[in-house]
Amino acid sequence: MNTLTINKPIPFAQNINFDKHLMLIELTDGRVIGIPLEWFPRLRNANDEQRKNWRLIGKGIGIHWEDIDEDILVESLL
């Protein structure tokens, strides 16, 4: 039995926003994924200014927050 496998590239992050309980990540393939802040205690406990101080790693394969020393890979969220 053969199984069809489609190898699609992992999308990159291109923008990040927050609401009260979620981190909303806009991906290069058009999706927006909502990740509970509970999964990342440093982000959950950070203030708005610290959360907004992010930068993309490797053109969007990951996200880094300098103020709270947090790194997240997009692939690990999908």
Q: Which pLDDT value is given to residue 1?
A: 59
Total number of domains constituting the chain: 1
Helix boundaries (H) for the chain: 41-45, 48-52, 74-77
Amino acid found at 7: N
In a domain, 3, yes or no: no
CATH number for 27: 3.30.2020.40
Mean pLDDT, contiguous 10-residue spans, the chain (78 residues): 72 96 97 97 97 96 97 94
With respect to residue 2, please indicate whether it lies within any of the assigned structural domains.
no
State how beta strands 62-65 and 54-57 pair: antiparallel
Boundaries of domain holding 49 = 13-77
CB burial of 42-54 (b: ≥16 within 10 Å; e: otherwise) equals ebeebeeebbeeb
The predicted structure's pLDDT at residue 40 = 97
